[in-house]
Structure 1
Amino acid sequence: MEKQTKRSPAADTRERLLDAAASLLSHGGREAVSTRAVSAGAGVQAPTIYRLFGDMNGLLDAVATHGFRTYLADKHSLGDTDDPVDDLRRGWDLHIEFGLSMPAFYALMYGEGRERASPAGREAYRMLRRQIGRVGAAGGLRMSVDRATLIMHASGVGVVLSLLATPPADRDAGISLIVREQVLRTITTGHEDESAAPTDVPSRSVALHEALRSSGTAALTPAEQGVLAEWLDRMADADSVGRSRAGGRP
């Protein structure tokens, strides 16, 4: 007979507190998540929150992670295809869908700056960087992976927060698609016309950086690899900045 692992009383209490806080957040927004309301919903004394989470910020960080579990599971389930740019599209659409379907959790995570303090937020950002790194490794980026990741992340968050600030009946469903494709035109190659053909220095610089990042090389010390990576990023990003200032012309 298979032995079942029982959770400790503290783990059960912690889960009840998270469920209570998540329910309050979903139905009443951030303002509804108070020490008194959460402790009452979980059937415990208020000091228990501080014993298990340190303070209300610790509880809110845990609630944000709690709410992102489904999102991260869906993100992982997307997997990779042979088209890393299309994978970025699918990841973008999932992000937008999650934000609009769970507005209170999304606002808690991104609207209050908890993303980098939350394990779930850091994991989501790492996953986005890995996806963009695949594009870079294939020579498909016109700037460094870090800059492209920041641009795509900031744009996605901006779209969700802007749509959440708009009454549902007034939301333009096409905004997400327009911004998504504009971001892809900005960070990836393959969208040029004859009057705006860039050099291939950025894409080659990024591809080499990602190759070194994934496998390294015995010919260079770790310190030398770090310097080379910095140079490669600077070459990639300097070209993208120059093109932006020139209105897209080399």
Structure 2
Amino acid sequence: MRVAVDGPDVARPDHLAAAVADRLPPLGRPAAVVPAGGFLRPASLRLERGRTDPDARYTDWLDSGALAREVLGPLGPGGSGEYLPVLWDVVRDRAARVPPRPMPAGGVLLVPGALLQGVGLAFDVVVHLRVTPAARRRRTPAEQAWELPAFDRYDDEVDPASLADAVVLADSPDHPALVLQGRLA
């Protein structure tokens, strides 16, 4: 099963994915977390329009083709069962050079990250961590405020809450609220 945990950084999708992954093995389901941040494009492409361009953040950062080719496809129907845990080392701005890993039978893949819907990625289940624009503005650190228009655009153009299988209202990190919909309802 391939699960997206989609949400802005302030919603901490990586924390939710890690918490779920920790709880699955005792239930008989092995789990792997593959952060979408390990599939960003090289800086020369990602930052071609500058370091603080919200449109580039929205369209140019995630290498969705690589994520599909190296992770989602191999773990989907008819795939090899081996996935690449990371493709690009963003700090060093070079290929991570990590070997593929096998997914145990019945395994659950969790992919935490931002702006994951609307780009054609083949997830079996999508959990969207919804943060209202006002809460995003309050909670986003000043040095990342330039990203806010990208998330506004994502809400307007993709409407991720309507596409997700489950929505977690995450305006308050200490008091999330789950809203079930779609196939999970």
TM-score by length of 1: 0.23
* Larger proportion of strand: 2
Greater CA radius of gyration, 1 or 2? 1
**Structure of higher RCO (CA pairs closer than 8 Å, 6+ residues apart):** 2
TM-score by length of 2: 0.28
